[in-house]
Amino acid sequence: MTHRFPIKEIARQAGLGTATVDRVLNGRAHVSPQSRLRVAAAVEELQAQETQLAARGRRLFFDFVVEAPARFSREIRAAVDAVVPGIGGAVCRPRFLMQEIMEEQAVVAALRRIAKRGSHGVCLKARDTGAIRDCVAALAEAGIPVVTFATDITTKARLDYVGLDNAGAGRTAAGLIAHILRDRPGDVLATRSHERFSGEEARETAFRAKLADCAPHLRVVSVQGGSGVGGPTSRALDRVIGTFGSLRAVYSMGGGNRSILDTLSSHGLRPEVYVAHDLDAENRALIHAGQLDFILHHDLMQDMRNVFHAFLAFHRLQGDRAEVRVSTVQIVTPDNVPAGRAPRAHTPPHPVSGG
């Protein structure tokens, strides 16, 4: 592997030992595929960040530990890469650990490794469990601030929460569905990627309360599981699909929308209105194709600026932390999709009733 960085620097960026990095760089045996990928990613990150090294200021390492579908992780990483060059006061070096499914023990192990090797801050998107809360508290005790992103961890030990107003998003989804369906009764499918993501729980709680108030004739059918990943999401939906009466709408809080649409279609079901989250490549294609009616979106680049500002304020390298870290939901329709990289899909659109 061609590189021009000291092994110690690559090891620090990758979060691995120098012996492991040396074996990878020299093509030796007894190295896991995961370690080889981490070293390759570390070299790429160092190359991308090299232009910052001429900047004045401290060099700070920040860790991003994210459980999310790959399509959303790519959006997060692109937002980080876009905002880092414009951050003043320090040379910021992000390190990424992003997996589609991270069980509690994997997150705990990752946070313990970070605590052992050191970090100037952790941006965390993970399930809200007791063991993960304990790790966040241990990091804070060690002087490593933790900012939760998109979904919170219910502990006072974390420094801050950055991301979407999840309850506001749930109420917005309910209002859109009630407005389009008017007085037509039926079922509304509400899907979550996992029961332990507190952000999605906040969305569903607010969604149910708002819908019960403005459209009591609609019945909510909840599905949890799948982590927003295709196959597992389809299997979770298959287990309850026989309980639907007249399916009117879908509120997808956790992603996997192509799989949800395909699974519903295979059972002859076609919702009149579909509300999803996040303007990733898959959802761009689906809304261009007319298969999604609304996407509840928030500005990821601003979120990442807020993450770094929280860290730098903690280290007294910028002004005090801003009071408002929560993003207001933006409603994207097929007519106002911001410019993006995703190609248009060629799936025929489904009709949407205006009521």
Q: Give the model confidence (pLDDT) of 215-252 as tens digits.
A: 999 999 999 988 888 788 999 899 888 888 899 999 99
3-state secondary structure of 205: helix
- Residues facing residue 23 across a β-bridge: none
DSSP per-residue codes, 211-251: HHHH-TTEEEEEEE-STT-HHHHHHHHHTTGGG-SSEEEEE
With beta carbons less than 8 A apart as the criterion, state whether 182 and 193 touch: no
**pLDDT of 322 strictly over 80:** no
**pLDDT of 109 strictly over 90:** yes
Q: Specify the CATH number of the domain 1-46.
A: 1.10.260.40
Domain edges within the chain: 1-46, 47-162+299-326, 166-298
| Full-model pTM | 0.78
Confidence of residue 13 (pLDDT cuts 50, 70, 90): confident
Task: Specify the amino acid at residue 244.
Answer: F
Angle, CA of 349, 100 and 259, to the nearest 5°: 25
* pLDDT tens per residue, range 29-44: 888 988 999 999 888 8
Please report, rounded to a whole number, the percentage of residues in the chain having pLDDT higher than 70. Answer: 90
Length of the chain: 355
Specify the pLDDT at position 276: 97
**pLDDT of 352 strictly over 50:** no
**pLDDT of 346 strictly over 90:** no
Q: In CATH, which superfamily holds the domain spanning 47-162+299-326?
A: Response regulator (3.40.50.2300)
Q: Specify the CATH number of the domain 166-298.
A: 3.40.50.2300
- Enumerate the H helices of the chain as residue ranges: 7-14, 18-25, 33-49, 70-83, 104-117, 130-141, 166-181, 198-214, 230-238, 257-266, 281-288, 300-314
Q: Confirm whether 1-46 and 47-162+299-326 share one CATH topology.
A: no
pLDDT (mean) for 2-16:
82
Residue 138 CB-density burial (10 A; 0-12 exposed, 13-18 middle, 19+ buried):
middle
Specify the pLDDT at position 219: 96
* pLDDT tens per residue, range 239-290: 888 888 899 999 999 999 999 999 999 999 999 999 999 999 999 999 999 9
